């Protein structure tokens, strides 16, 4: 029996009764890490892609080509479906039409499209502006047509940034969400919600399935995922979870310490790291997550016995599968 398409898998995650958690990543290794741990799908952050590829903030600097290329790499590095940021669709409805097809051809399972003006900016920064409703709806109509021509299961999340934008409000975001769903969007996604009260308000007035960005909610206020499921949230979405939210502060502290104290700091930090797996979890080596064992397996399949003698006279990785 042929395996289900990733687009089908992602659509089923959104439409089942049980909530699923969507961790944000920015590169292939982070996506593989999330998959190895057992997440059922992964997300590619456009903001972190922009920072990682071009060293600039999420303010419309990264092009469609750059974002789609990173999405292609990530989608093909994992077996689980990948949902990707697609910014505004990179232009008018004609650009959106082409962009959707590029994402589908790249192996991505779904995208969200914003209703901001171009150049856009991160949904949690000031100065956001949204296009007129008719123009935003036309983006989704074009996206829906492009999707249906190539893969009807491809998932389109109807994102609105009306909360906190010029002339926007919660009620405007709700109005737009209904319009985007009518135009072909599969998922309701209201960006920029700042409290659980706002989330409940929107859930009571919008269609399911829903994805909720939990980045702007204080961790002290977050209910459990089981409680979120009972509230009607289909996807608990953490766009900055892998790497940036947790690892960045540690990187900042280490590099500052290393710059000041050199190898003394390095020894102390490595000692802390060596004890970390004993205290928390037996994390596999990062080479193992990257798939170093596969290299040896492929070489054993294709290389000559003479060439494989290198494994008898050298030391080091790869790991053997247990």
Per-residue tokens: 206: 């919008």
83: enclosing H helix or E strand = strand 82-85
Catalytic residue among 25, 122, 202, 235: 122
Alpha helix (H) ranges present in 123-224?
Answer: 133-150, 170-183, 196-203
Residue 25 designated active-site = no
Task: Give the angle subtended at the CA of 209 by the CAs of 203 and 211, to the nearest 5°.
Answer: 70
Per-residue tokens: 307: 């060439």
Task: Give the angle subtended at the CA of 192 by the CAs of 190 and 195, to the nearest 5°.
Answer: 100
Residue 124 CB contacts under 8 Å (≥ 6 apart), including other chains: 192, 215, 216
Distance of CA 200 to the CA centre of its chain: 23
Q: Are 136 and 180 in contact (CB under 8 A)?
A: yes
Distance of CA 194 to the CA centre of its chain: 20
Per-residue tokens: 299: 């070489």
Q: Are 46 and 67 in contact (CB under 8 A)?
A: yes
Q: Are 155 and 14 in contact (CB under 8 A)?
A: yes
* CA-derived radius of gyration, the chain: 22
Q: How far apart are CA 44 and CA 112, in angstroms?
A: 11
Distance of CA 41 to the CA centre of its chain: 9
Count of C-beta atoms within a 10 Å radius of residue 133 = 16
Q: Any idea which residues carry the catalytic annotation?
A: 122
């Amino acid at each position: 029996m042929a395996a289900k398409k990733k687009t089908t898998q992602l659509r089923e995650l959104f439409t089942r009764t049980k909530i699923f958690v969507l961790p944000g990543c920015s590169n292939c290794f982070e996506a593989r890490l999330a998959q190895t741990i057992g997440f059922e799908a992964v997300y590619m952050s456009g903001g972190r892609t922009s920072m990682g590829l071009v060293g600039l903030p999420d303010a419309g600097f990264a092009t469609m080509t750059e974002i789609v290329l990173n999405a292609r790499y990530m989608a093909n590095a994992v077996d689980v479906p990948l949902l990707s940021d697609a910014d505004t669709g990179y232009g008018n409805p004609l650009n959106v039409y082409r962009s959707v097809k590029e994402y589908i051809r790249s192996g991505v399972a779904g995208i969200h499209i914003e209703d901001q003006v171009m150049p856009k900016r991160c949904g949690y920064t000031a100065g956001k502006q949204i296009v007129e409703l008719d123009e935003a709806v036309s983006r989704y109509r074009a996206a829906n047509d492009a999707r249906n021509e190539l893969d009807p299961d491809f998932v389109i999340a109807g994102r609105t940034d009306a909360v906190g934008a010029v002339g926007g409000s919660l009620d405007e975001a709700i109005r737009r969400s209904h319009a985007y769903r009518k135009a072909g969007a599969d998922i309701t996604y209201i960006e920029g919600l700042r409290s659980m009260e706002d989330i409940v308000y929107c859930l009571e007035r919008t269609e399911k399935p829903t994805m909720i960005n939990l980045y702007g909610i204080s961790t002290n206020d977050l209910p459990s995922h089981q409680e979120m499921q009972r509230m009607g949230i289909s996807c608990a979405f953490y766009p900055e979870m892998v790497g940036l939210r947790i690892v960045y502060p540690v990187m900042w502290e280490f590099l500052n310490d290393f710059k000041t104290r050199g190898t003394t700091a390095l020894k102390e930090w490595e000692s802390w790291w060596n004890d970390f797996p004993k205290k928390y979890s037996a994390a596999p080596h990062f080479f193992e997550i990257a798939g170093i064992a596969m290299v040896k397996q492929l070489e054993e399949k294709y290389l000559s016995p003479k060439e494989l003698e290198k494994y008898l006279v050298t030391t080091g990785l790869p790991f053997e599968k247990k």
